[in-house]
Amino acid sequence: MLTPVHRWVWSDAKRRVDKLLRFGETETDGGRDILRAAETTSDPLLRRLYLVHAIDEHRHGELFRRRGAALLRALPPHSKPAFQAVWLAPGGHGLDDLNVDEESDDAWLAFLHLSEKAAASRFTVYRDVMQDDPPTRAVFEEILHDEVFHMNYTLVQLARVSPRRHRGRLWRARLSRLWKGYLRLATAAAGVVGGLLLTIQYFVLLPPFAWLARRAERRELRGWTPVSRAGGDSLTRQY
């Protein structure tokens, strides 16, 4: 349904470059979190899978950055920064929402599964709207292949680690993501409302002060004003 919107978002060359470079950072950051999860887990199989996963995410970061840099070199000089439309076309996995050190294996796996699922569905749309740019489309295609594997192995491992509670864990992770999404939306809305109120204040409250200042300026004498000698010897006042 949102395909035309995504087509518009990715149609701007400068925005495409910025997005790819930002996606590169997000993938690498996500890889670091997963590497941390590999260090903290006591499950040997999970550790192996997390290491493979972290290497994948690091490679995704490289792929996005390399493609972004290639497109950046092809941009005309002094290209204007475009509106980023982060809300319309977000990237990455949203792994920043969870502190790896404080989570159990099953909570982390549930969260990871949902994040990978979200990334896979986004990248599918981005790949599909990239018909005019085969190399970028190929990057999304390659990354999408890995994201589908990440999405599947996390679910299988969640069911293995927590056979009885894995559905509950998934629901908890879903609600947590929903809540974080609401908080992000509320923060963005607060920023817009705050900006609007300050603009209204600027145009409603400042004009009377400007008018008073102009009136006071008209009463001021022009040029140099002679100062009487009497009382001019104070060390604390000018006159």
Residues at the site binding Fe ion, with contacts judged by CB under 5 A:
27, 57, 60, 116, 147, 150
Based on CB atoms, which residue is closest to Fe ion, 33 or 57?
Answer: 57
Determine contact, residues 13/21, Cβ cutoff 8 Å: no
Minimum Å distance from CB 60 to Fe ion?
A: 4
Nearest to 112 by CA among 38, 194, 185, 218: 38
Nearest to 152 by CA among 175, 106, 126, 120: 120
CA dihedral 85, 17, 145, 135 (to 10 degrees): 130
Give the whole-angstrom CA distance, residue 90 versus residue 69: 19
Determine contact, residues 148/131, Cβ cutoff 8 Å: no
Based on CB atoms, which residue is closest to Fe ion, 18 or 116?
Answer: 116
**Which residue's structure tokens are 């569905």?**
121
Minimum Å distance from CB 97 to Fe ion?
A: 15
Minimum Å distance from CB 125 to Fe ion?
A: 15
131 token code pair: 């018909």
User: Could you give the 3-state DSSP secondary structure of residue 198?
Assistant: helix
Minimum Å distance from CB 175 to Fe ion?
A: 22
Based on CB atoms, which residue is closest to Fe ion, 56 or 105?
Answer: 56
Minimum Å distance from CB 94 to Fe ion?
A: 11
Based on CB atoms, which residue is closest to Fe ion, 8 or 151?
Answer: 151
Nearest to 139 by CA among 30, 28, 20: 20
Minimum Å distance from CB 93 to Fe ion?
A: 6
Based on CB atoms, which residue is closest to Fe ion, 57 or 105?
Answer: 57
Give the whole-angstrom CA distance, residue 74 versus residue 63: 17
Based on CB atoms, which residue is closest to Fe ion, 106 or 116?
Answer: 116
